[in-house]
Structure 1
């Protein structure tokens, strides 16, 4: 399977145990190119999580959804930018100035460490929210574009609105569930192939793989489905 399909997949390492996260990452790495270090794992292991996953050769997606005053966000982003992560999330509801601070902080931190600057991803509406208004979604996408964010995190059901507002922006879509798997606490979900055909660039896969008895095989099946859709 081509790297094009593999690099469209991110595994959500939502655990409090770094050893478990690294073990899952190793098992799915042949099929998935990006590892998402979310708030739970980052709270437990901090920068060690980013460093150990990077050592495996995977891109790291730091999903801590920054949302604070611009100065605080810039400072935190500077620290995170120095870690060599590929992506960092901020809440678009924080506004243009806050997101601009994140972009500036990331660039500054990456330059100080001699690494490529990661992409700021603006989180529009959480996939657990079933009542997202199109007006709010459009405003947040417009704000992210104005702040020079490189990408958007959104539900697959929002992709048509995103593409109408920002046709070329990178789209990262969580809430991905293969046909026949539980939706858990996600209110707006999509299949891997459905999301790709709707315009998603990167899919975040979580419990459909990590809860499997054979995560590597589950990841391989999703890769095959995405490869066909691509």
Structure 2
């Protein structure tokens, strides 16, 4: 992959999303369309974004019984996403069925622990150990289930990469030193994540909310 940056595009208006993608397109490797985008614009919106010629990362974080997730995966195959997410906590059978139902050229990655969560959040949900303990448990399960890789924060990516060297690993929640973390609790810079073994860097607000998104994207690209 020449440029590992995927721009997170969760804008309420499809025209705004397309305009932003066109502006930064030369400086990113693809676009990430999440749940907000999919609920607002549906498959038609995904098709419109795909027409721009950038790979589409469909971040739906599927999590249900194995049969339902497999059916959902087959339903979105027509959209030809490059990457799709499922929740690794859905278990081995769910992940196996999701991968089996995915398109031939689609990478299925398991979300381990959201970057908006921290140690306190884990404890409140009854999960023991540190965030890294939880990420490593789920990464091991995702690999055993046949997924292509996982999603984790930049804090855990080095350990995951050491354990699963040939996995396809996605790091979201990235922030530049000059940017506020917002609702993200476990952040690193794009360069740090890449150096630690990230395959894909998901970047949203540092680009989409910049005064000049194209310049912001170009500057991030230059650091990689």
TM over 0.5, yes or no? yes
* Greater shift in the superposed pair: 133-142 or 30-39: 133-142
Residue by residue over 1:52-109, the C-alpha shift from the partner in whole angstroms, topping out at 9 and shown as x without a partner, is 11111100000010000000000000011221110000000001100111111213xx
Matched residue count: 214
Structure 2: gaps spanning 5 or more residues: 120-129
Quick check: 1:60 aligned with 2:56? yes
CA distance in 1, matches of 2:158, 2:221: 24
Contact 2:113 2:131 in 1 (8 A): no
Residue by residue over 1:157-210, the C-alpha shift from the partner in whole angstroms, topping out at 9 and shown as x without a partner, is 001221232121011100111121111100011111111111111100100011
Quick check: 1:120 aligned with 2:118? no
Contact 1:37 1:49 in 2 (8 A): no
Structure 1: gaps spanning 5 or more residues: 108-115
Quick check: 1:103 aligned with 2:99? yes
Corresponding residue to 2:46 among 27, 37, 50: 50
CA distance in 2, matches of 1:48, 1:220: 29
Contact 2:23 2:213 in 1 (8 A): yes
Which residue does 1:112 correspond to in 2?
none
Quick check: 1:22 aligned with 2:10? no
Contact 1:82 1:106 in 2 (8 A): no
Quick check: 1:171 aligned with 2:180? no
Residue by residue over 1:30-49, the C-alpha shift from the partner in whole angstroms, topping out at 9 and shown as x without a partner, is 10021001000000111122
Contact 2:175 2:187 in 1 (8 A): yes
CA distance in 2, matches of 1:193, 1:161: 17
Which residue does 1:186 correspond to in 2?
184
Which residue does 1:197 correspond to in 2?
195
CA distance in 2, matches of 1:84, 1:65: 16
**Pairing 1:31-42 to 2, within 5 Å after superposition:** 31-42=27-38
CA distance in 2, matches of 1:38, 1:219: 19
CA distance in 2, matches of 1:149, 1:49: 26
CA distance in 2, matches of 1:134, 1:12: 24
TM-score, normalised to structure 1, is: 0.89
Corresponding residue to 2:205 among 182, 207, 230: 207
Query: Aligned to 1:128, what secondary structure does the other structure show?
Result: coil
Superposed CA RMSD = 1.2
